[in-house]
Structures are given as structure tokens and as C-alpha cells.
């Protein structure tokens, strides 16, 4: 059964993710370190997970539990890579899917940016969220969750006698 994992501490699209997941009847795990109060809808499909403080504790919790049938919403590139390694799907808050084709370049770019910051260079931050970003996120998450719900290996078949 497909489940949705949200790396929640810095996620600007939690409400959008809840809307899609509830419409599709998908259990959702909202994982945070509890540093900020995150409001969640009162619904039996939405589960609050508060992990202990520490680097990558929320990421570890998600990576240990996610399966190939699941989807993760995260800005964290290393977490996205860990999800992909397990066969899961991952998407960032601007509606860009993390894939095996783009994750290597994203990890390399992250390493370069970290190096530049360590030398005192400013790398700038992410661009502000736009309405188009939110719309793309809603559409892509819906598509991703629907695809994850389909039985794996199910082939399109023409019924006997045709259509």
C-alpha cells in the first residue's frame, strides 16, 4: 500500500500534500524534529512523527521505513537519493521529481555549493515559491501518488475480442 512521507521541518507545501493524499486516501507521515510547531489536520490518515534532535534523524527515520511503493516530499537531496535507492519516488516542494537521471547532478551541485560556502563565498538561496510552483507540485504529486498506487508490473492488456 502506498504511503506518503513528508520531510516536514522546512516543507512549504505540507497543506498541498495533505490535500492530495487525503483525496487519494493515502496514509501520510509528517516527520519533524519537533523544533517548530507544525499544525496538522485531524485525520486518521495523517500521522505526526517527532524524532529526536540531531542531524539527519528525520531523514534516517524516513529512509529506514520508505518502500518502493511510497513517495517522499523533500528538499533534502541526500534523502531523495536514499529514497530513490530503495525504489521509492521523491519530489521537491516546487514539483520537480527527483529521479535517477537528475539526482547525481544535484548531489554534485550540492557538494560544490557546500565547498564554496566553506571558503566564504555566497551561493544564494533558493528562489521564492510562486503560485506556479505550488500548482506544479500539486499536479506532479497527484501523478506520482497515482502511479505509485498502481500494481507494479501491471501491463496494459487488450481484452479478448478487442475493444
Q: Which of 73, 102, 54 is nearest to 62 (CA)?
A: 73
How many C-beta neighbours within 10 Å does residue 16 have?
A: 19
User: Which of the four pLDDT bands, split at 50, 70 and 90, describes residue 153?
Assistant: low
Choose between 6 and 159: higher pLDDT.
6
Q: Which of 159, 40, 74 is nearest to 84 (CA)?
A: 74
Q: For 95, which DSSP code?
A: S
Rounded CA separation 61/48 (Å): 13
Per-residue pLDDT reduced to its tens digit, 70-123: 999 999 999 999 999 999 999 999 999 999 887 776 667 665 666 566 777 676
Per-residue pLDDT reduced to its tens digit, 42-76: 999 999 999 998 888 999 999 999 999 999 999 99
Instruction: Please answer whether residues 71 and 148 qualify as being in contact, where contact means their C-beta atoms are separated by less than 8 angstroms.
Output: yes
Q: What is the largest CA-CA distance in the chain?
A: 69
Domains and CATH numbers, the chain: 3-99+128-149 (3.40.50)
For residue 156, pLDDT over 70 is answered with: no
User: Which pLDDT score, from 0 to 100, does residue 63 have?
Assistant: 97
Q: What are the φ/ψ torsions at residue 17 (nearest 5 degrees)?
A: -65, -40
Instruction: Please answer whether residues 73 and 7 qualify as being in contact, where contact means their C-beta atoms are separated by less than 8 angstroms.
Output: yes
> Given the C-alpha cell 521523491, which residue does it identify?
90
Amino acid at each position: 500500500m502506498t504511503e506518503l512521507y513528508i520531510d516536514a521541518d522546512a516543507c512549504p507545501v505540507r497543506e498541498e500534500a495533505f490535500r492530495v493524499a487525503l483525496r487519494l486516501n493515502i496514509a501520510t507521515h509528517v516527520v519533524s524534529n519537533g523544533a517548530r510547531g507544525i499544525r496538522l489536520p485531524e485525520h486518521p490518515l495523517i500521522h505526526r512523527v517527532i524524532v529526536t534532535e540531531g542531524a539527519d534523524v528525520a531523514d534516517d527515520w524516513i529512509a529506514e521505513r520508505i518502500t518502493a511503493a511510497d513517495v517522499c516530499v523533500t528538499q533534502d537531496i541526500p534523502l531523495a537519493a536514499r529514497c530513490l535507492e530503495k525504489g521509492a519516488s521523491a519530489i521537491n516542494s516546487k514539483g520537480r521529481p527527483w529521479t535517477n537521471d537528475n539526482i547525481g547532478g544535484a548531489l554534485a551541485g550540492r557538494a560544490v555549493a557546500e565547498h564554496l560556502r566553506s571558503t566564504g563565498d555566497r551561493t544564494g538561496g533558493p528562489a521564492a515559491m510562486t503560485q506556479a510552483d505550488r500548482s506544479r507540485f500539486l499536479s506532479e504529486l497527484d501523478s506520482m501518488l497515482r502511479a505509485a498506487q498502481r500494481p507494479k508490473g501491471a501491463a496494459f492488456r487488450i481484452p479478448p475480442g478487442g475493444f
